[in-house]
Structure 1
């Protein structure tokens, strides 16, 4: 979840346990192998969240064992805005690590890659990249990043035994979703789990709806970035806010929706206390760890829109691994050797086993293990079928900081969908002006 879904307090998070931080890992060395054979030593800067550290340590240990004349050492940085500032400051001062991991999509674009990063377009592995990921790490016709970890999906986790017992089918339209919810409520089960005790979780009915927005209004992301379309006045975009209002007014939420937290929501859908939970597939790792039976009992479906013919899922793309322009000469060749290994079969095998994948990988030939949880396999099916769209944050730098508070209000009946969308448009306008984007006067 990585784009703007990087680990951040009360923000959409894409990694294990919805942005658990490994507090013991401050910026500095992580005890990597020493350079015992001469050659080049590369510093590799990664985020300090638990999943990133686990993946980074596994990749570095396996790569260093290959004895390719290159030794990689790990360094960590904080997450959130503090981590953003570390990356931008180190790039601006010429003090960036030889290789670093950072977001793809709009936050990657904010690094002014053509001025600060090394193009990698000519590397052989670039041809194996998934098209959406390649676009998310490209600028000016050049590719700048290799994929870091797996993607994830935003949609609905659902309890399969409940669906089977009630004779329900996976919905492909919002009307079908609401009809299923009515049948679930009649059976005495919470139809739509909500967990506003952790406010970031309230955003899913809006953010995971972007595939439907893009299908109905293909140029939305560009027009939105330019300030020419708004949530409150775009018929497709306001749907997510309307869905929040409709679910609340129908009485389909769990009674403790205002105080329940992520772990509560995962437990409810895992045990069948709740039937449907709008959520990210990244949280499946935590759910299965606490409720092992949910590995096969909980599936995933895309958040339905109005048109079954365009049904598909919103995808959060992997982060990228980049090489700054300050890495030159033999260091640059060593960095390319490392990235070639990471994107090859050996790097794939490490990534598949070091951290449970939350969705498909971005390189062709790097397949998911056969035993992934059902929800992850379900999401992968959408990707395989070409029925996904990148989340808006990979296409536009504009995302107002107050969205999670606004979605809580709409989903709690405090504010109408129309008022919530208009308030969010105002929040977005302020953020776009701070970014200096044209069209937002």
Structure 2
């Protein structure tokens, strides 16, 4: 899924100039004095929840380490923020510690040149491998997780399932059998919201854990142009699922025009039973539909093998130390990252903002007060039953996937044609990146 669509859907992308949330100058100037006290600047994006978490981490860390003060600074989100981070790294003017994306955008900031590698002193052995994969370059880990995982999954109305005596499906056949019973009861089995085209992609992107279960080398082969969606049965299945749901008229009648708020309302009210979507939409679902937090559950998109039905996850952002942070500041920064990557750090983040996904730190709990869907996600993480989304394992992504999914899910084109179309779409992008084999 393209990063800008996730940002549009889930974040209040900012465009303001860099500002400081607390006193202190920008950059990594030496604020350590002869009294042993150190002041660190900590750069985060300016989304409201992000700032709340940053301030809480700074407060709680300083309470345990009174000789270290954290000054939280903010930057714009989105493209403006990306450009600012790259500029400040290249000019040697980066804050002492900063929060930024993991995955492909992390690789784009030249971590081996610009970042300090971490070790066991920063608790990297306690981090979920699905996260460390996204902040590793040349076998070295450079970041600790900010926040929790996000899943591409199916949110479902537990009351509808309970009333009809349905169980959570682990295979696609079981899912479709559920849908037949749901439709017979007068409820829309599958909610779609193509009025916001980015939401159309989850039956494909959220199905990637099933693709990896069938072919663990798919991402590498896909990157090398040795595997394609149209000719790999497990990958083609996502497009087939879109077509099948439409052909059986299992979606809501206004699927073509409905938008995310509509879909979440239908789900909360029980007008629809299942919604393939990103778990990060839970915060909007609950805020706009009070009382729904324990009525909505979550399960991984079912595949062909129920014994390998893993959850597809998007990794959290990371917190990094630039190479311009040295001396006493570097020691303090490493302590700060170790704190973030600990149960105490998770508790601090939970204090600031209710988690919408499991933490990537072993021993961390989201607590009992989180929505049921987050607890469901935690079970997959605890059981080691999750896999990264393809965008974290391959740089090959095509810009037209959402439009292609809308076409297949609307009956305009068939699954095989949609998969072939997407294979052509990614070819152009792979060639622009200069990838070998394309």
Regarding TM over 0.5, the answer is yes
**Aligned equivalents of 1:387, 1:397: Cα separation in 2:** 24
Taking the aligned partners of 1:431 and 1:82, their CA distance within structure 2 comes to 22
CA deviations over 1:56-109 (Å, ceiling 9, x no partner): 222223334445322222222333333322222322232222211112223322
Deviations 1:278-327 (A, max 9, x none): 01221112212222322111111110001112112111111110111122
Task: Find the residue that maps to 2:216 and give its secondary structure.
Answer: coil
Say yes or no: does 1:27 pair with 2:38: no
Q: Is 1:63 equivalent to 2:57 in the alignment?
A: no
Task: Report deviation, 1:346.
Answer: 3.1
Change (3 A) 1:410 1:290: same
* Aligned match for 1:193, one of 181, 191, 194: 191
**Cα offset for 1:42?**
2.0
* 1:433 pairs with 2:413: no
Query: Is 1:230 the counterpart of 2:228 in the alignment?
Result: yes
Q: Which residue of 1 aligns with 2:381?
A: 383
Give 1:201 shift.
0.8
Correspondence list, 1:21-420, <5 A? 21=12, 23=14, 26-31=17-22, 39-66=37-64, 68-420=66-418
Q: Could you list the per-position Cα deviations for residues 27-50 of structure 1 after superposition, in whole angstroms to 9, with x for gaps in the alignment?
A: 221235898987332222222233
Structure 1 residues 159 and 76: alpha-carbon distance in aligned structure 2, compared to 1, 3 A threshold: same
For residues 127-162 of structure 1, the C-alpha deviation after alignment (integer angstroms, 9 at most, x for no partner) is 211122122212222111011011122110001111
The correspondence for 1:423, drawn from 417, 421, 430, is 421
Query: How far did residue 110 of structure 1 move?
Result: 2.7
State the shift of 1:253 in Å.
0.9
The change in CA–CA distance for 1:67 and 1:129 in structure 2 (over 3 A counts) is closer
Retained in 2: the 8 A contact 1:32–1:61? Answer: no
362 and 36 in structure 1: CA distance in 2 versus 1, 3 angstrom threshold: same
- Following the alignment from structure 1 to structure 2, what is the Cα–Cα distance between the partners of residues 124 and 256? 50
**TM-score normalized by structure 1?**
0.92
- Structure 2 CA distance, aligned partners of 1:89 and 1:116? 11
**Does the 8 Å CA contact 1:33/1:64 hold for their aligned counterparts?**
no
Q: Secondary structure at the match of 1:421?
A: helix
8 Å CA contact 2:153, 2:206 repeated in 1: yes
**What is the CA-CA distance between 1:184 and the residue it aligns to?**
0.9
C-alpha contact (below 8 Å) 1:20/1:50 kept by paired residues: no
Moved more, 274-283 or 53-62: 53-62
Distance 1:407 1:243 in 2: 10
Preserved CA contact (<8 Å) 2:32 2:38: no
Give TM-score, length-normalised by structure 2: 0.93
Distance 1:215 1:136, change over 3 A: same
Q: Distance in 1 between matches of 2:230 and 2:77?
A: 32
Unaligned runs of 5+ residues in structure 2 are 26-30
